[in-house]
Structure 1
């Protein structure tokens, strides 16, 4: 398949479209990264809660250890501290859950910010580029076969804009029906120009 035209103007438009799609993708990836980082800032309170629970658990464990050293009643004195230490585990879990939720939200938002705009542009850009590559590749194969310029001329007669047909020398249509090589090349040139391709050089051994 051929992805770029030979004509400089059309090739420049194709390159601009390709670079534009690449730039569009990069911009939205950067936007998604910025949004991801901004949302992750919301995880700060969750980290603070987790740190608080960890600090409380450490303090209660230390207090329980000290209380257990009291003769006779050490176990009873340590029980409340052990209970508070266990409760702080729930606080830590809540903080961690909040951070996980924020992280999930940040990831989903980043993915959506990339997929939606890039996917929308891809659906507009890719079919156009693939259609050109398919048509240009087919024409390239036809140019390699003798006599297929007549098929391109017939397509130009059927699909070329009327102003382009009117710009041809008078009698081109009748000459094409007679198989005149110059008329065939003139009409085939219209179809090739649509794809930004050039007519092959005239074979010196063929009739003009």
Structure 2
């Protein structure tokens, strides 16, 4: 099933829309990466707090070990250092938690910045592209099997200016069952979909069609 119209004009619009969607996606991915990096910079204070807590915990642990070597009162002397070391570990844990929260926020913001704008455009681009693919496929089948249906649709939906370009009496001739008039009107509908007139059974554009 073709994804692009044979008509250069419509195919150009389809390609422009597809490239526009790709560019839109790349733009918002770049924006999301920039925001992600900027938000992650907010984790630096948490990293500093974690490093400070780890340093305090290490120093107090060393001091507690040294204090325990003091005869008789070693355990009593080590207890305050051990408590300070435990507090330092808690401070380091708080710093790590802050970093995790910032990392989660950065990831969520990056995802939202890609999903929302790209999804908004995709919901407009995809139905338009799918609708054309389905309509073009149906038109090809009708052109080969029953062009009268395409002729009827052209009479109902084609711009008046396009219908006015047809030879006078085309509608009356179509109602009378004239194959040339049927092909002329069907060609109008095919042209709207960017399909060539030779898609019709028998091929070619009817004589007298401007």
Structure 2 length as normaliser, TM-score?
Answer: 0.93
Deviations 1:11-52, CA, capped at 9 Å, x for gaps: 011011001001101110111111111100000000000000
Deviations 1:120-151, CA, capped at 9 Å, x for gaps: 10111111111111101111122232xx1111
State the match for 1:158 in structure 2: 156
Listed as ranges, the matches of 1:124-143 within 5 Å are 124-143=124-143
State the match for 1:54 in structure 2: 54
Given that residues 168 and 186 in structure 1 are in contact (C-alpha distance below 8 angstroms), is that contact kept between their aligned partners in structure 2? yes
Task: Give distance in 2, aligned partners of 1:97 and 1:73.
Answer: 37
State the match for 2:180 in structure 1: 182
Given that residues 143 and 186 in structure 2 are in contact (C-alpha distance below 8 angstroms), is that contact kept between their aligned partners in structure 1? no
State the match for 1:191 in structure 2: 189
1:202 Cα offset (Å): 6.4
1:175 Cα offset (Å): 1.0
Task: Give distance in 2, aligned partners of 1:166 and 1:121.
Answer: 36
Given that residues 144 and 201 in structure 2 are in contact (C-alpha distance below 8 angstroms), is that contact kept between their aligned partners in structure 1? no
Aligned length: 203
Task: Give distance in 2, aligned partners of 1:203 and 1:80.
Answer: 99
Higher relative contact order (CA 8 A, sep 6+): 1
State the match for 1:92 in structure 2: 92
Given that residues 143 and 150 in structure 2 are in contact (C-alpha distance below 8 angstroms), is that contact kept between their aligned partners in structure 1? no
Residues 202, 66 of structure 1: CA spacing in aligned structure 2 closer, same or farther, 3 A cutoff?
A: closer
Task: Give distance in 2, aligned partners of 1:48 and 1:63.
Answer: 22
- 5+ residue gaps, structure 2, are none
State the match for 1:39 in structure 2: 39
